Amino acid sequence: MAVKPTPASRPSSPYLDRVLLSLPNPRRLPNRIWPDDDNHRHRHDASSSSSSSSAVATSVPCASSPFCEDAPPPPPVKLSHPLLRALESSGGPATPPFSQTLAQLIVSGLALHRLAAGRAIKALCACPSSVPLAVSLFSGVDDPDAFLSNIILRSYISFSRPDQALAFFRRHALPSRVFPNHFTFPLLAKLFSELGRAEDGWSVHSLAARLGFESDLYVRNSLIHMYSSLGDVDSARKLFDLDLDSDFVTWNSMIDGYVKNGMVDAARRLFDDMSERDIITWNVMIAGHAGVGDMDAAKDLFIKMPERDVVSWNTLIDGYARKHETGVARELFDVMPIKNMVSWNVVLALYARIKNYRECLKLFDSMTATADAKPNEATFVSVLTACACLGDLARGKWVHSLMKNSSGAIQPDVLLSTALLNMYSKCGDMHSAKEIFDSMEEHSVATWNSMIIGYGLHGNGEKALELFMKMEKEGPRPNEATFVCVLSACAHGGMVLEGWWCFDRMIHFHKIEPKVDHFGCLMDLLSRAGFLKVSEKLVQGMPVEPVPALWGALVSACKTHCDLHLGEVIGKKLIDMEPQDIGPYILLSNIYAAKGRWDDVEKVRKMMEKKGLRKGTGISLVGIDDHVVDHNISVGKKSVVFSMLSEMGMSIKSSCTGTKRRAPARSKKMAAALGVATVVLLCLTVVPSHAALQVGFYSGKCNGTDVEATIKSIVAARFARDRSIVPALLRLQFHDCFVRGCDASILLDGSGTEKTARPNLSVRGYDLIDQAKAALESKCAGVVSCADIIVVATRDAVVLGGGTQYTYAVQTGRRDGNISLASDATRNLPGDSFSASQAIAAFRAKGLSASDTVLLLGGHTVGLTHCSFILNRLYNYNGSGKPDPAMDPAFVAMLKSRCPQTSTVDNTVLLDHGTPTTVDNSYYKQLLARRGVLKVDQNIASDAATNATVRALAGGSSSFPALFGGAMVRMGGIQVLTGTQGQIRKSCRVVKK
């Protein structure tokens, strides 16, 4: 029976009395945790040792065992106990020392002490997998207290396992009669709010009030948050209005409660009543206005904020993103001072949501090129969605490789795995999609749907149907979207009976009411099979109003199956339904044309002209190695393309005259012709398009002086006496374009400028640019930019160094920039030890492809580098004290002779030891022979994503000049300043001289 303490023995209070009375066996409480002196501990240890020795020879009475119900109070424990110290230094629950120490705690009986058990339970709760062991340890503790139960509750909640937290509370904490403290109630409030258990939440509040904890500020704030999360704003407001102390958390919790429940006006009134606000208050109120779409009010608050953090920016950007105001959201994103992962993900998700997939991928490339942000699971969901919708399998595989090489930082959940599976299935790689599907431990409905539609889109309706039947047996219950996928798969596979069966099963077995999408799929199935009359009756008998798209699909099917009468009837009906839609007119015109009714065709055309309807030009996008070719080419180029296409068309037509047996040959010729057309388009659109850029920009602008000829003569004279000017200018242009764009900023002198950056130590050729600039300034002052001199001089040097076949046209019209910092060079230039994926990301951020990465890295490294860049690789790679094992030993020895480890002179080293002054493909051959000087170059030779390109370039010497020329031209289009941007510097070394 518990003894109520007297005032003489210790302080008394109603709370302390209730605590002591609630204990089941207070006499077993140790009278102290730390003994008064070490002598007491030694005497107790000796006594315990004697008892233990006698226990070996005789039977031990229950009273002397710490595990018996009637055992005496356990001995006091000190924090300096060897086992507790060993537990602290063991390294965590996943290590063998921890397991050994924990076993000794249990065997010795120390695990019965709350102090020792608390240390062990706290360590176990740091890892989700070991929390059940902590619960077992809790169950063995005599008279566990709130501290121990709070640790376990907090761990379950923090690991997003509220159900297990509730189970522990009911099965262990309550039966042990653990008396709650002021830390327990906030945990319970959070638990029941997450589970949506309003009645249990009320009980927690009632208990807190009875025990006197309602006035505790921490408890009260938690209860306000709980009621708000459960939708009971009135109860939250009653707590808020109590005449008790409040802090910023109290006010913020109430404002957040109003916002969460859509009561933004009430939240704003409370916000305006506050005499002082912290940054969280402002952020919550901005989120409230943004959540209801009132972006004017949100922006007004954002402007008035005394200080802003990254959450403030993210909240405003997210608000504009929700309203699809892409321009404003992107503008805010670009100017925000600090970006975190949420910032990037909001804009990436926005581009994916509005189906601007290419901008989504471009932004992702920019993100991966910066060291500040590391992609997480949400990032990859948006990027993989973009890859899937663009059908960009190569990019999708690269993104997948980034996920796998994240060193465990990316743990794919169901959503991310489904996005990855969806990417592979939409891109046609069903084998990889199946591998992802089979490797998933859990499948959502969306996962099954993605696999089913993947099989259907690629003509494998049988597998789609098999998977659907497997889903019915093993997976979650199919939803409406599932049947859209199944019916679409049946339509693509011509499986009419199976489609009817699925439609019937959806209605009668799964009790799903068919929507317009389901009728559309079924009508498509019937129309493809030629059942046009049945399709018409199906549309007419639909319980919902048929949309025009259904009738349009039926008209198209009528034309395909030559049922022109039905097509004409439905086509006229469609025109009546949507007189301003050009589609029905085109369909009806095509039907008349198929019947030879040219007068009627002309009537339809005149109707279109009278109503001002005009059909947009069809566009075909052709993707070649990350470059998309569209119809936006100049008139001159169009004439060339159309001429070539006309000739190819005549050839195709002439090849089609013959028997049906010649169809395969015709198909091959058609494919070849289309391939040639694609290459022609690619070649014609390889030059970047800028408003003021054009070939021959300076013609007639320099007082009769041929600008490009002047530059070429200076380069040729230098090349005659110093062939190393070729790699020097290549590196000069490369470094200039990658830092701030092709704006000649690299030439600027001054403290902390780009020229002083460590990556630029081996850049040369400044004097040649100065010489050309001086020559041109004497002819026409302030006309030719330093940026154009770099590009033209580099082109001429490359032509001289690579032979006559190495010719390409560069556009001029650039202007000079005036910002160039060493920090920009360090941040933007590819690192000398970059992995292949990092290098590709850096190049893609500049609008260049993976093949451009290989071409430009291999091409621009025909120059020099300093020993300081490679010393670690030669002498202490990754701290091993040895050279990089990826390097050829003989090559290492040769480099060491040039770069002694103890030398005080930073010598230079040739990067291309084959033909160092010639722009050719010899460097790729050296990379395959493990003779790459920089780690980044060796990485592109060994990485699976780039190895094939390196090998192709190493073996195809004749194609390298043209390929490299195209890459140089594309690089010359990075962030070009033209028109009214930038300036024409009088001196390339300084601004405004």
Query: Which residues belong to the active site?
Result: 735
CA distances to 96, 338, 769, 794, 963 from 808, rounded to whole Å, are 65, 41, 20, 11, 10
- The H or E element containing residue 604 is helix 598-610
CA 602 to CA 465: how far, in whole Å?
46
- Tokens 């050839």 sit on residue: 651
DSSP code at position 182? T
CA 126 to CA 678: how far, in whole Å?
58
CA distances to 737, 752, 819, 991 from 823, rounded to whole Å, are 15, 8, 11, 19
**AA letter at 510:** H
Report which of 751, 990, 960 is spatially closest to residue 856, judged by C-alpha positions. Answer: 960
* CA atoms 17, 23, 27, 28: torsion sign: negative
Q: Is 318 known to sit in a ligand binding site?
A: no
- Chain center to CA of 891: 40
Helix (H, G, I), strand (E, B) or coil at 622: strand
Q: Is 273 known to sit in a ligand binding site?
A: no
CA 477 to CA 946: how far, in whole Å?
43
CB-based burial, 469-503: b 16+ in 10 Å, e otherwise: eebbeebeebeeebbbbbbbbbbbbebbebbeebb
CA 556 to CA 37: how far, in whole Å?
96
Q: Is 860 known to sit in a ligand binding site?
A: yes
CA 822 to CA 607: how far, in whole Å?
65
Q: Is 250 known to sit in a ligand binding site?
A: no
CA 184 to CA 171: how far, in whole Å?
16
CA 241 to CA 249: how far, in whole Å?
14
CA 249 to CA 240: how far, in whole Å?
11
- Tokens 């460097």 sit on residue: 923
Q: Is 370 known to sit in a ligand binding site?
A: no
CA 199 to CA 222: how far, in whole Å?
16
CB-based burial, 356-385: b 16+ in 10 Å, e otherwise: ebebbbbbbbbbbbeeebebbbbbbbbbbb
* Phi, psi of 909, rounded to the nearest 5 degrees: -130, 140
DSSP code at position 983? B
- End-to-end alpha carbon distance in the chain: 95
Count of alpha carbons within 13 angstroms of residue 895, beta-carbon side: 29
How many contiguous H segments (helices) and E segments (strands) does the chain have? 49, 4
Report which of 254, 150, 153, 233 is spatially closest to residue 195, judged by C-alpha positions. Answer: 153
Q: Is 915 known to sit in a ligand binding site?
A: yes
For residue 856, what are its two tokens? 């430009």
CA distances to 641, 832, 835, 872 from 882, rounded to whole Å, are 58, 19, 20, 9
Q: Is 753 known to sit in a ligand binding site?
A: no
DSSP code at position 753? B
CB 528 within 8 A of CB 555: no
Helix (H, G, I), strand (E, B) or coil at 629: strand
The DSSP string of 806-873 is ------B---B----BHHHHHHHSPPTT--HHHHHHHHHTTT--HHHHHHHHHHHTTSEEEGGGTHHH
**AA letter at 572:** K
Q: Is 978 known to sit in a ligand binding site?
A: no
Q: Is 743 known to sit in a ligand binding site?
A: yes
**AA letter at 774:** A
Q: Is 920 known to sit in a ligand binding site?
A: yes
Report which of 582, 591, 580, 581 is spatially closest to residue 554, judged by C-alpha positions. Answer: 591
Q: Is 578 known to sit in a ligand binding site?
A: no
Q: Is 76 known to sit in a ligand binding site?
A: no
Binding residues for Ca(2+): 736, 739, 741, 743, 745, 754, 861, 912, 915, 920
Binding residues for substrate: 830
Binding residues for heme b: 860
Binding residues: 736, 739, 741, 743, 745, 754, 830, 860-861, 912, 915, 920
